Structures are given as C-alpha cells and as structure tokens.
Copies of this chain bind each other. A is one copy, B any other.
Amino acid sequence: MNFNETTICDHLVQLKNTAPLVHNITNFVVMNNTANALLSIGASPVMAHAVEEMKDMVVIASALVINIGTLNPEWIEGMLTAGKAATEKGIPIVLDPVGAGATPYRTTTCWKIIKECKPTIIRGNASEIMALLNANVKTKGVDSAAASEDAVTAAQQLAKETNTIVVISGETDYITNGTETLQIKNGHPLMPKVTGLGCTASAICGAFAASTENTLEACASAMAVMGIAGEIAAEKAQGPGTLQLHFLDALYNLDANAIQKHFKA
C-alpha cells in the first residue's frame, strides 16, 4: 500500500475537477454545515428526503450519503428508496450510523439500510461501529464512549460481513476493507466539541468516493483532509465557535502545500 500525501493531493484535484453532486439524506442538526463543507471542498450538495423525488434525485447524483441522526419512519422510507436506487445505479453510498447503540431503533434501522441498500462505506465513531456488531456496547447518545483503537477489530469484522469500507473517526482514524487498514493521525482535540464534524466527514467521504476509483483510499483522503483542515482551523480558533468557520475556510483553501505540511499517518 502506498497511500501518502501525493495520493491525497491527486484525489483532491480529481474531486475539484469533477465537482460531484452529493445527495444527502441527513439530520437536521448538521444539514447546513454539511452542505457548506461539501461546497468548500469543491463538491455540489443537495439535501432531499421525500420518497416522491428520491429516485429522480439519485439519477443526477454521483454519491448518496445516508445519515440517521434525526431519523423517523418517513425519513427511513426515503433513505431506503434512495439507497436501493443508488445501488442499482452503482454510485457510492455512505452510511453514517449516528447514535447506533443509543437506542434499538437506531441499531435496527442501520441494519435495515445495510441489508436493503448495501452501502459502500460505513463511517462512525468507535461506539457506533462497535454497536453495529454488539448491542451491549456502551454509548453516550451520539458521542463516543470508546477510543477509536478499541473498535478496529469490530470495524474489520463489520467491513468483511457487510462488504463495505468501514471508517472509524477518532484521535486516530482507521479506514479498513477488512483486510487492509489505513490510519490517519491528523485532527485536533477541539473537533469533537463542534457538533456534526463526524457527519461532515461522512459527506466528504462520499465526495471523494464519487471522484476516486479506489474507495479505501478515497476515504483515507477524506479523513486526512478533514483532520488537516481541523488542525489549520485550530491554529486560528479560540473555541468551538470559531473552529467551525475556520474549518470551512481551511477546507476551501486546502492545497498541496498544506497537505504536505500537515499530513500524519
């Protein structure tokens, strides 16, 4: 495996050249920030959830991101309809299992989506990834109660079982197809104090996967870019409020120099 700074730079150029339309069915908390992050990195976001237009929206999309953060039965129906259409069309599908393990409803819904839509990528925090394999794991709502390294074995098993790329975000990010596992060590401790940066990471994975052939590496690039932008933002931030907006600026201004200077694997 030869994933390095140059890979990330190449992927970023490809993303900006293709400017993929990323269709998001995501939660109310993060919609604005997710759309802004996708615009900042060079993708084109669309947020839509009505069953009535799911197939038509997938037709024009290059990736689909399903995030269960504020789920309800009507939205799940939209997710399943879009997910099946996306599988049929062959575009990457990212599942963000927000709060899996916090309630049975969330865990069950994730598995329904996994079985019916066959996502390409599952990105969550350690608690969420572990919860998908084991209902007894401790969670703290939507925040992780475990470190990312504790979930690596679960992630590898989940990747094999579901034939997906599994991404655990945390102090170290792990990206695995079950056999190969990449690590990204970029990021900053202030990032978990901003709501929804994990959700943003899922959307950015979708954007990279839409414009890169190797999905494992696409996700590693996405997580590296997230972490690097977070580090650059943290240099200017005085807290979580300023971090969020400098993060968007950093994503927008990210170039080969910044990537080469900051990348840590």
Which residue numbers of A lie inside 8 Å of B, CB to CB?
21, 23, 27-33, 35-36, 39-40, 44-50, 52-53, 56-57, 60-61, 69-74, 99, 102-106, 139-143, 192-196, 237-242, 244-253
Contact = CB atoms under 8 A, between A and B. Distances in A.
Given A40-B239, A45-B141, A32 B35 contact: no
A178 B156 CA distance: 58
Contacts of A61: 141
A246 to B, nearest CB: 6
A27 to B, nearest CB: 7
Contact of A252 (B141, B193, B253): B193
A195 B239 contact: no
Contacts of A105: 50, 52-53, 56
Nearest to A193: B39
A169 B52 CA distance: 28
A245 B231 CA distance: 18
Given A44-B143, A47-B28, A141-B44, A194 B249 contact: no
Nearest to A106: B53
B102 A60 contact: yes
A52 to B, nearest CB: 5
A248 B240 contact: yes
Contacts of A239: 40, 248-253
Contact of A249 (B60, B69, B106, B240): B240
